[in-house]
Structures are given as structure tokens and as C-alpha cells.
Structure 1
Amino acid sequence: MEKVKHVLTYGDVFVDYIATNTSNTSFNRHLGGATVNVATGVSGLGVPSEFITITGDDETSTFVRNELLNEGVNLSHAIITPKKRVSGVYIQLTSDFDRVFASYVNETPDLQVTYEQLKSQSFEDANIFHFCSGTLFHPKARTTTQKAIELAKNNHVICSYDVNIRLLRWENEELCRQTVCEFLPSADIGKLTKEELAFLMETESFEEGMMRLSRYAIPLVLVTDGENGTYAGFQNQIHHVPEIPVQAVDTTGAGDAFMAGIIRHVYLFGLPETKQEVIECTNFGNQMGALCATKIGALTAMPRMAEWKKNN
């Protein structure tokens, strides 16, 4: 009996400490991070999900691992290094109850998954490998990502890349732009926002940006533009797929839910080969992003398959 393939994701875990009130003196703890959201989002959509990351042996790391396991994410090849401390993001509330990024704490930035710790079995049993730029700022993690892509390509695994730029983690904009772009040719699926397209391609013209991006020869490019929907670049053509109208209450994590939807569709049906398949795939991603936006939170708002079926 053939073993069921999984979606393999690599990235950092974060703990979001979100203020409980506008005094910003007490905080609730939530599991966070773009790749975490995608790994759990994929699992919630009924697809086997495995996550490669690194945690420590302290109480916060135990909380992180338990949360991932509770979400159905396989951690067989995740790394535990006792001295590692999970990064924390503190989010405060303004008087109008808007969320504001207050501080970022990373006590052990140099403790990363090394390329030697990657297990070839993870990639042999994978259907899709997903990563983002969140770890590429660190040289050790960058090398690990390169090795992971190599293992994926050697095993004919589809590579999914959400650029997901967070400039605060980089020394400067040019290093960020150069590094993020270096990984674009490795992607079979490339996802970025309209703002990230302008930043990476150094033009405010959407058409010029898409033309410059086409030089990287990514089979399927997805450019999200909030309530304006998604632009899918496929075979030198751009297809606009409208957003799903919903009453949005919180867009946190909507892009990750979109990505989980895209990955689920490609996992089941393969990379799109026609315009109609591109539209169907993108539309499903849009539906997942829209569902996420109707709920508060990120990971807690990731759509479940039963929820989607109820609405369709």
C-alpha cells in the first residue's frame, strides 16, 4: 500500500503576546508565525501536514509543540535543542482597540535548524514543500532553506514560496530584496502581495512589476490585493480572480489561509495546467482567505474543511 504523501513546511514558530486591554499590562499567549499558520491551515483542510522547525525544552516551547500537535501537525522531524527559546512578539492595544506591534524578542537567533538536521525521508514522503522568507535573513537558516529546496527538487516535490516580507528582521532593504529574489527561481508556486511585488521589482507599476517578475519563470504566480482579489500569473498571462465578499472583522492570517487553500488544491489536483484550473485554484484560496477574515485571530481563524462545506 502506497504511503500517503504530506505537505512539508519549514519555518520559525512565534508566540504572539496580545494585550488583553488598553492598559497593555497583561497579555494572552497565542501560537503564531506565517509558516505555522500555513502548516495548521493545511491540516485543518484535511491534508497531512508536517512541520520542520526548532524549539527548546522550556515551558513556552512545550506550549508551542502541544498547540501544533493539537492542530494535527506532525512534528516527527522538528528539532528540539534545549537552549533554544521561541521568539516572542508583543502586540499592544491602542485606545481605539487597534493592534500595534510593540516589540520583538529573540533570545537565541543563532540557534536554527541546520542543513545537517534535515531528514531526507521528510522530502521523499512529501507532495509539496512550503517555505517563506521569514528565516532567510539568517545565514544558517538560508543555507538550510537552500538544502531543503535541493532535497525537494531531487524528490520531484512541488515548491511553494510565500515571500511574506518582514523588513524589521533584515539589516537593510537591499539585502532583503536581493536575498528574497534569489529564491524566486526555485518556486513552482510564488505568492506575494501587491505591495511586495512593488518592493521586490522596484516599480509602482503593476504591469511592469509582473513583467519583471516573469523573468524568474515561476509556473504559477499569485499576487494578492486585499479586497480587490488576486492576480494569477500563468503562461505569460494575468488572470484576475475577484475576492469573495464577506463582512471582515480581522484580516490577520488571511494571506496564510489563502496559501493553505492554494496548497490544498494543488495537493489534490496538481499544478494548474489550464486557465480554468488556475481560476479554480485561486478562487479556492480566495475563499479560505475570506473565511479567515470573518473571525478574530490568525491560527484560531484558520478555516476548517467542515466550515467550508457548510458554506458551499
Structure 2
Amino acid sequence: MENTKHVLVYGDAFVDYIAQTIENNSFNRHLGGATVNVAAGVSRLGIPSAFITISGDDETSAFVREELEREGVNLAYSVLMPEKRVSGVYVHLTPEFDRIFAKYENDTPDLQVMKADLQEEAFEKASVFHICSGTTFHPDALSTTLEAMNMAKKHGAIFSFDVNIRPLRWESEEQCRETVKGFLPSVDVLKLAKEEAIFLMETATWEEGIERLAEFQIPLIFVTDGENGTYAVFEGEILHVPVVPVKPVDTTGAGDAFMAGILRHIHLNGLPATREEVMACAHFGNKLGAICTTKPGALTALPRLEELENFFD
């Protein structure tokens, strides 16, 4: 039977103002945000993608919606509130071409997707439901995120969580930790970077962080490590999945490209059930992340399925 389900993503849309040079004195405007990148990245890989977000009636919001629709992302479950203003983020580049989130602009932080805005149909059709921590620092958004998670679990969707911690957006580190950890008992697929494992579990090393994460009994954990590839944690074993070396131009969005690959694999094949399936899933995500770093920008650099055929193993 044909798979008529979609990958469902909930999160904030942003406009990224991305530095063109390492001097960080000129910027290009792009649609952005981790969940936006994942929703668009999944669609670029030929998988139906739906996005729950909120936008307004101004030119910037229209730009966001048009870009998402151009990417083939279904916005039928999103909210349009005239007075909402989409947030902006300034991304600086280091001499090593790593990203630094330098400044946020958010004129309407209290206008959020509410629990009542969530549509049952969106979750009935979801193979996977994916979030980042970006919708958990505002009380209303946190309430909506919890409700969305429960709706997804009720309908049998796989729950995917990229912690994607942005300390600037939290009142305190402790609030961040406790909020994020509150979701972990329900998570099926967790993605975090090495430093996020250390931060979240308050350990000296990421390996110790993974040991402490074991209490949450998360079926599949991916620890990303840039050019060193990915560590997949499955049934108590840490599996290293290397990545093909590439010459990076811009690492912005690489983790989101990786995540889009993981979600595509799970949409098509279900949650990996063997060591070999986990390795194959991570390998696919690694290739997407690597390709993304060879082009500037985030969403603009997200790979399409046909690009994988030209990417050597």
C-alpha cells in the first residue's frame, strides 16, 4: 500500500541574515530556523512534509510562506495571525566557517501557536513528528509542544527531538536543562551535538552524558561531531559512523540536513531495529550533512535527492 503519510514538523520560522564573509559586515536574507530547514529538507528529498508555525500579514511573513510553499512544504496546519512578526537572527561566520548566532530580533514573542490551533488530522497523517527546543522556552509554546507531542504519540507517530540548544533564548541554563529533559522519556529519536550532551547532562565528557541519558530509555540517539561524523547510540552500544571528507564552505544547516536525512529514512523504513539499520540511517544523514557544508547558506544549501547520486561513498 502506498505511504500517504507525511513528516510533520512544528517550530518557528525565522529570517536568517547570514554573513557573506568572515568580516561579518554584509548579510544575505534567507528563510531559516532549524525546523524550517528540516521541513524543507525532507521535502527536497521527495517526502511529503507539513509544517506547523505562525506568521503574520507583513512582507517578511509573506516571504516566509512563499519560500516554504516553493519548497513544497504543506502549510495547511499553520496559523496566520495578522499582527504576528517573524523573528530574525543574525548569523556570523568564524574564520573556520563555523556559525555563530550573534543576535535575535523578536517583536511579537507572545504570539504563538496555541493548543487550540493544533489540528488532529495533521497528527493522524504523521509518520514522524519532529521538534527542536525552540518551541519550549515560551510558556504558551511549551504548552502547545507538549500537547502536540501527546497527539503525535496517540496516533502512533515516531517522536523526533533535536535539542538544538540556544542558550541566548533561555532565562537560565537550569530552566533550559529541566525543560528539555522533561521531553526525553517520550522521545524515540534524539539528536544532539557532543557539547549539548555535556551541557544537558552536566558531565565532563559527552560519553558520560550518554551514560546518564540511558535512564530515559531513548530507542535511538544521534550525537553529531562535525567532520568526524556521527555517533549512534543503540541498545547501549555507541556506533561511530564516519563521514566522507569534504571541503566546507559554510557549516550552517548541516545538522538540519542530517536530520532531514534521518527523518526520510525513518519515514520510508520505520524506526531502525538492528545495528545495521541504524548504521545505514546515520550514513544517509551524514552524506546530506556533508553535502550541505559544501555550499553557502542553510536552506539554500540543503541537498536534493539527485545530488546524492553524485556524492561518492
TM-score range, shorter chain: over 0.9
Say if 2:308 is the partner of 1:305. no
Q: Could you tell which deviates more after superposition, 43-52 or 15-24?
A: 15-24
Q: CA deviation at 1:100?
A: 5.4
Residue 3 of structure 1 contacts residue 125 of structure 1 at CA under 8 Å; is this kept in 2?
no
Which secondary structure does the structure 2 equivalent of 1:72 belong to?
coil
Distance in 1 of aligned mates of 2:166 and 2:133? 8
Which secondary structure does the structure 2 equivalent of 1:238 belong to?
strand
Distance in 2 of aligned mates of 1:92 and 1:258? 21
Task: Compute the RMSD of aligned alpha carbons.
Answer: 1.9
Distance in 2 of aligned mates of 1:98 and 1:212? 29
Which secondary structure does the structure 2 equivalent of 1:74 belong to?
coil
Distance in 2 of aligned mates of 1:93 and 1:272? 36
Distance in 1 of aligned mates of 2:103 and 2:248? 26
Q: CA deviation at 1:112?
A: 0.3
Aligned in 2, Cα 1:265/1:23: closer, same or farther, shift over 3 Å? closer
Number of the residue aligned with 1:264: 264
Number of the residue aligned with 2:173: 173
Which secondary structure does the structure 2 equivalent of 1:179 belong to?
helix
Number of the residue aligned with 1:59: 59
Distance in 2 of aligned mates of 1:273 and 1:5? 21
Aligned residue runs from structure 1 range 67-78, under 5 A: 67-78=67-78
Say if 2:34 is the partner of 1:31. no
Distance in 2 of aligned mates of 1:184 and 1:253? 24
Superposed CA deviations along residues 221-241 of structure 1, whole A, max 9, x for unmatched, are 000111221111111111111
Distance in 2 of aligned mates of 1:287 and 1:111? 37
Residue 229 of structure 2 contacts residue 286 of structure 2 at CA under 8 Å; is this kept in 1?
yes
Number of the residue aligned with 1:230: 230
Distance in 1 of aligned mates of 2:254 and 2:44? 14
Q: Which amino acid aligns with 1:216?
A: F
Aligned in 2, Cα 1:187/1:108: closer, same or farther, shift over 3 Å? same
Say if 2:148 is the partner of 1:184. no
Number of the residue aligned with 1:285: 285
Residue 98 of structure 2 contacts residue 252 of structure 2 at CA under 8 Å; is this kept in 1?
no
Aligned in 2, Cα 1:99/1:201: closer, same or farther, shift over 3 Å? closer
Number of the residue aligned with 1:150: 150
Residue 8 of structure 1 contacts residue 128 of structure 1 at CA under 8 Å; is this kept in 2?
yes
Q: CA deviation at 1:28?
A: 2.6
Superposed CA deviations along residues 247-304 of structure 1, whole A, max 9, x for unmatched, are 1111110000000000000111111111111100011011110010111110000010
Residue 9 of structure 1 contacts residue 50 of structure 1 at CA under 8 Å; is this kept in 2?
yes
Number of the residue aligned with 1:9: 9
Using structure 2 for the length normalisation, give the TM-score. Answer: 0.94
Number of the residue aligned with 2:195: 195
Q: CA deviation at 1:204?
A: 1.8
Distance in 2 of aligned mates of 1:270 and 1:97? 35
Aligned residue runs from structure 1 range 117-132, under 5 A: 117-132=117-132
Aligned in 2, Cα 1:229/1:91: closer, same or farther, shift over 3 Å? closer
Which secondary structure does the structure 2 equivalent of 1:310 belong to?
coil
Q: CA deviation at 1:107?
A: 0.4
Distance in 2 of aligned mates of 1:109 and 1:236? 40
Distance in 2 of aligned mates of 1:192 and 1:96? 21
How many positions carry a matched residue from both structures?
311
Q: Which amino acid aligns with 1:9?
A: V
Q: Could you tell which deviates more after superposition, 158-167 or 2-11?
A: 2-11
Using structure 1 for the length normalisation, give the TM-score. Answer: 0.95
Number of the residue aligned with 2:140: 140
Superposed CA deviations along residues 174-222 of structure 1, whole A, max 9, x for unmatched, are 1001111111111110000000000011112233211101111110000
Distance in 1 of aligned mates of 2:122 and 2:225? 33
Q: CA deviation at 1:90?
A: 2.8
Aligned residue runs from structure 1 range 37-116, under 5 A: 37-91=37-91, 101-116=101-116
Superposed CA deviations along residues 93-130 of structure 1, whole A, max 9, x for unmatched, are 78999875442110000000001100000000110000
Aligned in 2, Cα 1:245/1:94: closer, same or farther, shift over 3 Å? closer
Q: Which amino acid aligns with 1:89?
A: V
Aligned residue runs from structure 1 range 206-245, under 5 A: 206-245=206-245
Residue 56 of structure 1 contacts residue 83 of structure 1 at CA under 8 Å; is this kept in 2?
yes
Which secondary structure does the structure 2 equivalent of 1:151 belong to?
helix
Residue 292 of structure 1 contacts residue 303 of structure 1 at CA under 8 Å; is this kept in 2?
yes
Q: Which amino acid aligns with 1:78?
A: S
Aligned in 2, Cα 1:121/1:209: closer, same or farther, shift over 3 Å? same
Q: CA deviation at 1:20?
A: 5.5
Distance in 2 of aligned mates of 1:311 and 1:48? 24
Distance in 1 of aligned mates of 2:223 and 2:186? 17
Residue 97 of structure 2 contacts residue 250 of structure 2 at CA under 8 Å; is this kept in 1?
no
